[in-house]
Amino acid sequence: MGILKSIFTWWEGATIGTGLATRGMNNVGEDSLGNVYYEGGKDMSGRPRRWVIYNGSNDASRVPPEWFSWLHHLVDAVPDDSMPPRREWQQPPVPNMTGTNLAYRPPGSLDVGGKRVRATGDYEAWTPDA
C-alpha cells in the first residue's frame, strides 16, 4: 500500500513526483517537526526556488516562523545559521488546531453545552429615539 499511497495521495506528505523533482536540488535543512526544506532552480522572477516537504499532513501552519521567512525570501540565509537563539520566554509554534479536539471552543458554543453566560447589565440596546 505504501507505493500506491504515495502515487495517489498528496495530503499525507510527498508524492512520487515530488520525490523525483527533488533529485539534484539542495537539501538545505530540517526543522524541529521533521519537515525538510529544499532550494534549487529559479522561479519566474529569477530568485532561487524554495519549497518544503512536510513530515506528515500537508498543513502550512506546521512550518515554524523562521522557516516561513526563509521560504518566502524574507531572509536569505538558512534559519539554522542566521537566526538568533530562541529566547526563554518564547513558546514553540503550534499548528492550526481547527477541527481537532484541541480546537478553541468559546463559552456558549454548542460543543461546550450551548449555554451562554447571562448578560451582566453592562449592555444597553441602541434605540433611534435616544
Q: What is the pLDDT of residue 1?
A: 47
Element (DSSP H or E) covering residue 39 = strand 36-42
Q: What is the reported pTM? A: 0.66
The CA distance from 109 to 111, in Å, is: 5
pLDDT of residue 6: 61
* pLDDT tens-place string over residues 32-78: 889 999 998 888 889 999 988 888 778 888 888 889 999 999 988 88
Q: Decide if 28 contacts 38 (C-beta within 8 A).
A: yes
Instruction: In whole angstroms, give the CA distance from residue 60 to residue 13.
Output: 12
- What cell was used for 55? 513530515
Q: How confident is the model at residue 98 (pLDDT cuts 50, 70, 90)?
A: confident
Q: State the chain's mean pLDDT as an integer.
A: 81
Residues paired with 50 in a beta bridge: 39
Residue (of 96, 42, 95) closest to 73 by Cα position: 42
